[in-house]
Amino acid sequence: MEKPISSSAEYLVDVRDVHKSFKDVKAVKGIDLKIAHGEFVAVLGPNGAGKTTMVEMIEGIQHPDKGEIHIDGKQWKHHQHELHQIIGLSLQETRFMEKLTAYETMQLFASFYKLNSHRVDEVIELIGLEEKKKAYVNNLSGGQRQRLALGIALLNKPRLLLLDEPTTGLDPNARREIWNILLRLKKELNTSLILTTHYMEEAEYLCDRIIIMDQGQILSQGTLEEILSMNGGCRSLDELFINLTGRHLYE
Amino acid sequence: MNKITNHQLYRLIAAHFLEIIREPSVLFWGIVFPILMAWGLGIAFTQKGELTQRVAIIRTEPDIKLSAFLKDHTSHNGNLFKTQLKNKKLGNINLIFEEVSWPKAFTMLKKGDVNLILEEHLNNVEYHFDPTNADAKLLYQQISNTLKYGAEYYTNNEAEIKPLTVTGTRYIDFLIPGLLAMGIMMSCTWGISYTLIDRRSKKLLRRMVATPMKKSNFLFALMTARFTMNIVEGGLLYLFAWLYFGIHIQGSIPALIAVFIAGNIAFSGMSILISSHTANPEIGNGLINAIVTPMMVVSGVFFSYHNFPEWSQPVIQYLPLTMLADSMRSIFNEGAGFTSVVMDTLVLSGIGAVSFIAGLKIFKWY
């Protein structure tokens, strides 16, 4: 028997020894990861670390070659419909239909969740796009598009939010606007967040736990203080990253 | 209350439709361009007005007869001799003889300025031209007859010519059903295939299927929006042809509707198959052209495919665009009804259904 959504598993996300290869490239090499209800987790690592592949496996877009992923006790193979209902996500660099307005784009995605315009209005307000809601997507700035992508991810009040580099390429102000929206979510709903990022300050500011990945593996994880002290008292994440991999985070 | 406007199928159709009509270039290529093409070709091939033909002439040893003709019947200006052959029914021909050297004549021939060279040899004239070029052959006959029988030869036969300009037999009657068929093919392949490939490349497909959206709704909506546009595009082209050229549908309208729908099914299905895999718009571009261009050339949209070699006929006849154009033409011009187009309608629908299912099987959403 399936469990009802309310009586959820101990961990919202439970990733067990997951592997994934593309042709000759081993993108993810045996990852274990547990995420609690309401926990905000940042996954940090340079390009090619396997962050996106891991997140896309949790999103059900990629399928692991080996290992299991349970979300709220359910697996993608058997519970695709239920899992889509409780997950919100934004992919790296999605480009929405250019000649639809921001509002129409939201309405379209809302219809997939059987939500009405009332919810669209709420989310538009939450992401602060009221003034731009009648603008075509191709007339939105980079920051506004990222907020639109975030808004779409929030439509169904997801219990698990997965954001793949939601602030890459944004200026500090636009980035801070997105952080504030996420902090509000954390306060108001018990949403869990998995966020991939290149920015250390984003991870520090938003997340309860930081996971450092490189070459398809988790190198270190914990709160900021924990991972700094675990690794010989580094003073910053960048220093830690150089200690762990010999490279900068931005490479 | 869950209103119909909140339903995903409604929203998807609306979104696709808005995307089409908000793009001005789509309206130009889909509506204005086919009408301009019909107008241009219709005018070019149906106007009875004057035709101007240039002929190069080499006069190293002037021929007596030709010299007399040029002197008596042409106006002379520098190295140009102009005359007009008159015929109310065939249309007048302005003949321009240009006196040039051999090298210049060859240059003109290569550039397509002339396709006939006259060379005089005291007592006779030689005609140099490519006998497989129909235009050149016709011009040779006109000029040689004029020199033999005088300029009246062209005028004299007016009485025996009974022009056929009744609806259904003109070039424009042949052309319009072909253009309608081609419009459906172009609109579906570019509108559906290219849109899908573009959205896959922009990761929008991947984003959409990461929601509870039904994939079948997405594809159905894309095809419905395109079908609606095809009705508008086809309707406007027909309206223009009816008002400007007086074209009429002589056969069964319900049969035409059935053929139109079958054509849409065929090309929509093929479009899904074409776009099932690639995320690279340039590859998509090549794929679509590889399917569309050969059919545009051989399927008899602009001229009859019976000009192609015998052995190729069975292949050409079963190309989807040929079947669609032939069926539409038979309804427009031959007064055909359901029974004569039922086979093509079924085959077209079958091609669409099989391609759609095959495409869906290998369709890459991510």
Would you state the pLDDT for residue A102? 96
pLDDT of residue B205: 93
Residues A178, A167: contact at Cβ < 8 Å? yes
**Rounded distance between C-alpha atoms, residue B154 and residue B157, angstroms:** 7
Best mutation target, B207, B216, B364, to test chain A (most A CBs within 10 A)? B207
A13-245 maps to which CATH number?
3.40.50.300
The ipTM estimated for the assembled molecules is 0.87
Domain ranges in chain B are 4-43+167-361, 49-160
* CB nearest B6 (choices: A81, A95, A116): A116
- Taking 70 as the pLDDT cut, the residues of chain A under it are 1-8, 249-251
The span from the CA of A57 to the CA of B310, in Å, is 57
Q: Measured in Å, how far apart are chain B's first and last C-alpha atoms?
A: 34
pLDDT score, position A5 = 44
CA distance A22 to A28: 10
- Mind telling me how many Å the CA of A182 is from chain B's nearest CA? 20
pLDDT digits (tens, 9 = 90+) for B89-117: 888 888 899 999 999 999 998 888 898 99
Of A92, A98, A112, which is closest to B8 when you measure between CB atoms?
Answer: A112
- Quote the pLDDT of residue A18: 94
A–B CB contacts, 8 A cutoff, strictly below: 73
Comparing alpha-carbon positions, the chain B residue that sits nearest to A103 is B15
Q: Enumerate the residues of chain B whose CB falls inside 8 A of the CB of residue A85.
A: 212
Answer for the pair A199, A167: CB distance below 8 angstroms, yes or no. Answer: yes
Number of alpha carbons in the 13 Å side-chain half-sphere of residue B293? 6
What strands lie across the sheet with A209-214, from one edge to the other? A87-90, A160-164, A192-197, A40-44, A209-214, A217-222
Chain B interface disruption, residue of A22, A94, A111, most B CBs within 10 A: A111
Q: Report pLDDT for B49.
A: 66
Dist CA A44 CA B294 (whole Å): 52
* Residue in B closest to A113 by C-alpha: B212
Measured in whole angstroms, how far is the alpha carbon of residue A187 from the centre of its chain? 17
Write down the pLDDT at residue A251.
Answer: 54
Q: What is the pLDDT of residues A33-75, one digit of tens each?
A: 999 998 999 999 888 888 989 999 999 988 999 999 999 999 9
pLDDT score of B341 = 94
Q: Which pLDDT value is given to residue A119?
A: 94
B201 Cα to chain A: minimum distance (Å): 9
Smallest CA–CA separation between A174 and chain B, in Å?
A: 23
CB B244 within 8 A of CB B238: no
Q: Alpha-carbon distance B93 to B154, whole Å?
A: 10
On chain B, the residues whose CB falls within 8 A of the CB of A150 are none
What is the CATH number that goes with domain B49-160? 3.40.190
Q: Is B215 on the interface with A (CB under 8 A)?
A: no
> Each residue of B273-296: pLDDT tens digit?
999 988 899 999 999 999 999 999
Closest chain B C-alpha to A81 CA, distance in angstroms: 6
CA–chain centroid gap for A50, Å, is 14
Give contacts of B22 with chain A, Cβ < 8 Å: 99, 136
pLDDT per residue over B28-54, tens digit each? 888 899 899 989 988 877 655 678 889
Q: What are the residue ranges in chain B where pLDDT is below 50?
A: 1
E-state strands within A65-215: 66-71, 87-90, 160-164, 192-197, 209-214
Strands B75-77 and B80-85: antiparallel
Q: What is the pTM of this model?
A: 0.82
Beta carbons of B211 and A113 less than 8 Å apart:
yes
A97 part of contact set with chain B, CB < 8 Å: yes
Shortest Cα distance, chain A CAs vs residue B282, angstroms: 18
**Does A117 lie at the interface with B, CB-CB under 8 angstroms?**
yes
Query: Of B19, B204, B212, which is closest to A112 when you measure between CB atoms?
Result: B212
**Eight-state DSSP code of residue A136:** B
Closest CA in chain A for residue B196: A97
Residue from B211, B214, B215, B365 to probe the interface with A (highest A Cβ count within 10 Å): B211
Structure confidence at residue B167 (pLDDT): 67
